[in-house]
Structure formats: structure tokens, C-alpha cells
Amino acid sequence: MSVRRLIFCAFPFGYGPAAKLLSIARAVRAHGIAPWFLGSGIALELVRRSAGIFDEVIEASASNAAARSLVSSSDGIVSSMDRRAAQLARESSRPLYIVDSLLWMRDRVPEAFLPARRYWAQRFFGEPIGSPHLPVARVGPIVSPFEPGPPLRRAELVVHLGGCESPWATPEDHYRYAAFVTRAVVSAGLPRDASCLVLSGASCTARLRAEFSACGVEFDSLSHEEALNALSQAAVVFTSPGVTATLECFRAGVATSFLPPQNYSQWMALEAVREAGLAPEALHWADVAVPPPFRRMPEDRRTPAVLETIARLSAEGSVRHELTCRLRAAARLPRPELGARQRAAFESLGANGAVEIASQLASESWCEGSDASQEARRGEQ
């Protein structure tokens, strides 16, 4: 029986979509499936740091000829919210499988996802806004089975900024946010009270090191495994409210406090986590200004409006002072109690979604295109 090959693609929006594919790829290997990764940008940056998970890691745009050839010779494509990859699967007549972390906050399913043979939606703490109008399997947190190893980068306080990149914003947008947070952390005196490690994307990390070299803070950009290790061994974590980072921190049971959002999905995620009572002392931009009605805006208007709001507020000294005060207060929270409450909330979302998705992928017949893909692979030999 030939080995099945699945192509994994992640929307290059921070590290979250790629981190989920790393978790699923680990799980599908146990079922004899060969996972290949095709991607670019910040998603490719994270995947390249993890050896032995994907058979091949290929840098390519989902629109170029090499990507099309690879997909045409595969048994299907697994898209972590990557719309271009979904379109490529349709054009290549390959089965499409969608992994969506954000269906709970969407008012509609992106058109490119509608032909999905299977659509997995990760549960989160917010109530679903809209009806997907297609069969959806809701799964628990899509995270990697993980046991902490020896601490490679031990720090009592870890400030997690994620990949800090997206196709809809400039590097300056991302760095503005990272520098705003770092200044508040330093102003709060947290590096004086504990060893402090700030994690972000590679380019952002280099700029932070240059600007804040004398502030008693370490900066690094780690592999997914190394980051999980650092987070799990910290006494306290401050994280931007990305969905994946939130779930990974809650799973580790480490007391987790939240920074203001970097983008619209984080805006919604922090609202959901606060409403669940899991983010004491968190500062949301909506606490210091009346935001535009983002939920009623189309995506092409909403995204720049969120970025403009963040840029404006992060430049105000009074807002940085407010964040500084919130960070100090958060650092004094009862850590064991907070960590235990967040871990219990994580467990309430259900069993490991990565394991469930891998099992369902293994049960697929892949009757669409399986003969063609086997022919293509015979031609490669």
C-alpha cells in the first residue's frame, strides 16, 4: 500500500496557524501519512525550526507553478485558514481539509473554504456568532502532546508576543506594538523582580535587542518546542491574546496574564477570555477608548481600522502608564489559583483536537485523486 502524502499549508498570520499544523502533522505520522509543508512568510519561519515533523518543507507561494505541481501529485491539502491554498486545492481537484481556529468569531465562512471535504472548527471560549451553513466538526484545542524537557531558556517571566507578522500589516506595525509592550514591562520594573524573556518573530526580536539591550531583558525567537518549554517552566506568562498561545499557556497550567490585542482576532479573543473570567487585570484597547464598530465592518475595512486604533493608542503616554499599572497588578495575582482555573477552562473545551483530526484524516478514502497521485509518484521514481 502506498504512503499517502498530504500537503499542509498555513495562513502566514503570526505563528498560530503553523503551530496547529505542527501539532496535527505529529499526530498523522502515527497513522502512516507523510505530511509535507508548503508555505511562506512567518508560517514558514516557524515550521523550518522543527526537524523531523514534515517529510519536506517547501518555500513557495500558493500561486506559483511549483506549488501547483506539488499539490497535483498529492492526496489532498490541509489548510490552516490559508485561503490561497484552499483555492489551489480546488483548481487542482484535490480534496480540501480546513482547520479553522476562528469560526467561533466569524459572521460568515470564507468562500474559499466552502468546498472543504471536512471542516474542523476549534472550540474557544466565545459563543459562535454566525451559522457556518456547511457540515462542521467542532474539536477541542489543537495543541501538541507535550511534556516539558530540560529548560533551555529558563526565565521566571516570559512575555510572549507571537510571530508578530501578518499579510495585512507592515513590519513597522508589528514592531510598534512589541516596543510598546516592552517599554511597559520595563517601566513596571518586572525585569528587576525576575528574569525576563521576551519571545517574538525573528525580525522583531533583532530590533528589540538593539533598542532595549540595556534593560535587563532577554529577547529570543524560538522553535515551537522550545517556546512551549519556556512557557511551561515560567512562573508567570504575559501573552498577546492569540488563540493558539492562549490555549497552549492554559494547557501548561502556568499563570497567564494578557497583553492588549495586536489585531482583530485577538481583539475578539481577549473579549471572550475576559468574559469567561480568565484574564484578570488585562488591558483591552476598548478600556481606554471607544473603538469603531468593528463587528459591522467588512474585513477589508475592519483590519486597517484595528491597526489604526492600536497605533494611535499605543503612542499615548497615558495608555502605556495604564498598561504598566495593569502589568504590576497582574504580577501580584495568586499564581497557583489562576493557573489551575485556566487549566480547568482549557480541559472544558474537550479532548485534543490534533489527535482527533489526525484520526479522521487517516479514515479518509481519498478516492478523489488518489489514483492520479499514485500515478504521479510512480512517474517521479
- Span 275-317, pLDDT tens digits: 999 999 999 999 999 888 887 788 778 888 889 999 999 999 9
Of 378, 71, 363, the closest CA to residue 79 belongs to 71
Going by their DSSP bridges, the two strands 118-122 and 96-100 should be labelled as parallel
User: Where along the chain do the CATH 3.40.50.2000 domains lie?
Assistant: 4-145+352-380
Q: Give the C-alpha separation, 157 to 198, whole Å.
A: 9
Rounded distance between C-alpha atoms, residue 327 and residue 72, angstroms: 50
pLDDT band (50, 70, 90) for residue 373: very low
Burial 270-281 (b: 16+ CB within 10 A, else e): bbbbbeeebbee
CB 199 within 8 A of CB 222: yes
Q: What is the CATH number of domain 4-145+352-380?
A: 3.40.50.2000
Cα–Cα distance, 110 to 117 (Å, whole number): 15
Three cell numbers, residue 243: 488563540
CATH class of segment(s) 157-347: alpha beta
To the nearest whole percent, how much of the chain has pLDDT over 90? 68
Entry pTM: 0.90
pLDDT of residue 372: 38
Is residue 143 over pLDDT 50? yes
Among the residue ranges 54-68, 134-148, 232-246, the one predicted with the least confidence is: 54-68
Which residues, 6 or more positions from 137, have their beta carbon under 8 angstroms from its beta carbon? Answer: 118, 119, 120, 121, 360
pLDDT class of 381 with cuts at 50, 70, 90: very low
User: CA 90, CA 87: separation in Å to the nearest integer?
Assistant: 5
Nearest in space to 78 (alpha carbons), one of 354, 265, 372, 374: 354
- Cβ atoms 266, 241 nearer than 8 A: yes
